[in-house]
Amino acid sequence: MSLKDRIEAKLIAAFAPERLAVINESHLHAGHQPDITGEGETHMRVRLVSAQFAGMGRLQRHRAVTELLKPELDAGLHALAIEPAAPGEPTRW
């Protein structure tokens, strides 16, 4: 199972999202560091709309996602961009 698939599965299980997109942006960061070739799964963007975010501040939302995905970050995920929203909130996507 790919890293992208594992992240999607964890987010679905934890947040029951209305909308979810996990985007591999690794190719955009080739050469960012000598060991980042742009291949593989080093940079991910998570776009997530979940009722669980209602009433939570931006920092709380980011922490909830980051804590859930800490094993992936510890295992080599270099960067994680998070775009969380509650239902009815405007999104850029």
How does pLDDT run across 35-82, given as a tens digit for each residue?
A: 554 466 778 999 999 999 999 999 999 999 999 999 999 998 888 999
* 53 within a domain of the structure (yes/no): yes
* 91 within a domain of the structure (yes/no): no
Q: What is the pLDDT of residue 35?
A: 55
* 92 within a domain of the structure (yes/no): no
Contacts (Cβ under 8 Å, ≥6 apart) of 2: 41
How far is residue 4's CA from residue 27's CA, in Å, rounded to a whole number?
A: 14
* 44 within a domain of the structure (yes/no): yes
Q: What is the pLDDT of residue 83?
A: 98
Query: Up-side HSE of residue 36: CA atoms within 13 Å toward CB?
Result: 16
* 26 within a domain of the structure (yes/no): yes
Give me the number of domains the chain comprises: 1
What CATH number corresponds to the domain at position 55? Answer: 3.30.300.90
Q: What is the pLDDT of residue 53?
A: 98
* 93 within a domain of the structure (yes/no): no
pLDDT tens for residues 6-35?
999 999 999 999 999 999 987 564 555 545
How far is residue 21's CA from residue 41's CA, in Å, rounded to a whole number?
A: 15
Q: Which residue range is the domain that position 38 belongs to? A: 3-85
